[in-house]
Amino acid sequence: MIAFLKRIFSSGGRGDKVARCYSQIVEQSRRPEFYLEGGVPDTLDGRYEMLALQAFLVVHRLKRQGEPARLFSRDLFEGMIADMDRTVREMGVADMGVPPRVKRMAQGFNGRIHAYDQGVAAAGDEVLLAALDNNLFGTVLETAPEMLVRMAAYVRLAVTGLAAQPLESILAGQVDFPAFSGIKGGSVE
């Protein structure tokens, strides 16, 4: 996968670092505990939503951190869109159908960033819980409240953990996400 990502993320000297970062985002989004313990639907939509959430966490950390972080974030977004394009094509979508579908996915990702940003910035968890319910659990008929609370606790823990991580390490392609398994009902065990 890294070789493919290096071809996608070919932005000068940042390409390998952005590819490494994106690979870690993908790896985190595929961790089984989100689906088995967290109630995230193990479907194409659920996996896209988990990828979008993990990418949001990194993009959120990079915001307002100067030009190198802005460029890194831009390259990360562009590479993610290129990966979505490749994935949609591999699923057998006809060439003419790929651009509109990928465009909707990119717009959806931007919407999720906005919703999650508002949720993280809000006092209390109501806005974040609504954003998670509408997006991450959007295809679930009725989300168990404890799953929403647990996922909100994960998001808060990740935001705090990534804020403490040196910017230089993230720009070098190293992202340390928290474990989800230790989070129960809004607290870390």
Q: How far apart are CA 133 and CA 111, in angstroms?
A: 14
- The Cβ of residue 122 has, within 10 Å, a number of other Cβ atoms equal to 14
What's the pLDDT at 105? 73
Q: Model's pTM, two decimal places?
A: 0.86
DSSP 65: S
Paired with 88 in beta bridges are none
| DSSP character string of 69-116 | HHHHHHHHHHHHHHHHHHHHHHTT--GGGHHHHHHHHHHHHHHHHHHH
Residue 187 has pLDDT above 50, yes or no: no
Q: Which residues contact 145 (CB under 8 A, 6 or more apart)?
A: none
Q: How far apart are CA 184 and CA 169, in angstroms?
A: 29
Selection from 134, 159, 167, 136 nearest residue 64 by Cα: 167
Name the token pair of 96: 């003419």
pLDDT digits (tens, 9 = 90+) for 63-101: 999 999 999 999 998 888 777 766 665 666 566 665 666
Q: How far apart are CA 53 and CA 71, in angstroms?
A: 20
Q: What are phi and psi of 183, to 5 degrees?
A: -95, 125
Q: How far apart are CA 175 and CA 21, in angstroms?
A: 6
What's the pLDDT at 103? 72
Task: Give me the long-range contacts of 63-67 (CB less than 8 A, separation at least 24).
Answer: 65/167
Q: How far apart are CA 161 and CA 188, in angstroms?
A: 13
pLDDT tier at 12, thresholds 50, 70, 90: low
Q: Give the whole-number percent of the chain exceeding pLDDT 70.
A: 80
pLDDT digits (tens, 9 = 90+) for 155-176: 999 999 999 999 999 999 999 9
Q: What are phi and psi of 187, to 5 degrees?
A: -135, 160
Paired with 2 in beta bridges are none
More confident residue, 9 or 33: 33
